[in-house]
Structure 1
C-alpha cells in the first residue's frame, strides 16, 4: 500500500471538559463573542441557567433558561443545587450543579455568560475546571456610544449601566485573561486561542497516562 493510501490515524485523547467564562460590562461585546463561539465551535455548549426573570418573546424554557419562580429558586439554593447564583436587576440567576459536573466528566466544555460575582463563586467551587476571560471596551466613551446606539434604553437605564460597567471593570484582575475588544474579529480570534490552549493543558488530558504508557512499551 502506498503511503498516500494509508488511513489517517487520529489520536483524540480523552480529556476533562472545562468551564469557559466570558465576562464584560454591558456593551463590550460579550454576547457577540459568545454567539460566534457557539456557532463555530462544536465542542462547547452554553450553560443554561435557572432564572426568576420572566420569559421574553421567542425564548424557550430549557434552551435559553430554566424559568422558575422565586420560591422554587430559593428552595434550590437551600438544597445546594447551584454552583453559583446571584441577583441581578431584581432577578435571580443560578448555574445547576449536577448537569455541569456530569458534562465535565464526559469531556463537554461549557460556556458561561456571567458577571464577576458568579465567576468568583464558580472559581471557589470548581477552581481547576474554570477558565476566566474578561472583555474590556477600548474606552469608556466607546462603551457609552455602543449602549446609546442600541436605542432601547432610557437615559436613566444607560446611566445605571455605565455606573455598573465601571464597577465591573474594577474586577478585571480577578480573571485569567483580559482581552480589549477594539475589533470584534481580532477579539474573537484571541478568545479562540485561549480556549484551544486551555483544552491542551496536561492536567485536562485525562487520557495521557494510558497513551504514554503505551508509547513506552
Structure 2
C-alpha cells in the first residue's frame, strides 16, 4: 500500500472519530439544555450538521450517543496511561492521565460545571433511567481497556491477576465520585482538584479520616 493510501485511511478514520464526537457532544448539550424528553435524534443530527442516517451509522439511540463521550474519555485515560514514563509511579500516572481528560478544555463549549443552569441540566440528564444501561455498558468496555493498560504497566496478567481489573474498577469509581461531588456541592467543587484528592486518598489506602 502506498503512503498516500495510508494517509487517506488515516483521514477517513479521523473524520469518523470527529463525526462520532460531534454527535455525542450535540446529544449531551441538547439534552442538558432542553431536557431529555425534548430532544430527538433529528435534533442531534441537525446540530451536528449530519443526516439522521449518518447518526444511525454511529449510534442506535440518543442514550448510546451520550454514553459514547464517557467511553471515549475513559479509553483516552488508558491511552494516556500507556504513554506515561515507565518510571512514573502508577497512581501518579493515573492522576495525570485522568486530569488530562477531565480538565477545563474537556468541558462542553460555553458551559462549565460551575454554571448553575448547566449543572442542573447535567444532573437531570445523568439521572435519566434510559441512560443508565448505556453508561453501564460503556463502563464495562472502558474498564477492560484500562485494565489492559494497567497490566502492561505493572507486568501483571489481566486474565490471571485480579490487580489490573481491581485498579481499573477503582479508577472508574473514583472518577464517578469526583464528578458527582462537583455536581452536588454548592458552590460546585472544581473538578480537577477533586479528582486529584480522590486518587490521592485511594493511593494512600483510604485511611480513616
TM-score, normalised on structure 2? 0.21
Q: Which has the higher strand share?
A: 1
Query: Larger relative contact order (C-alpha < 8 A, sep ≥ 6)?
Result: 1
Q: Which has the higher helix share?
A: 2
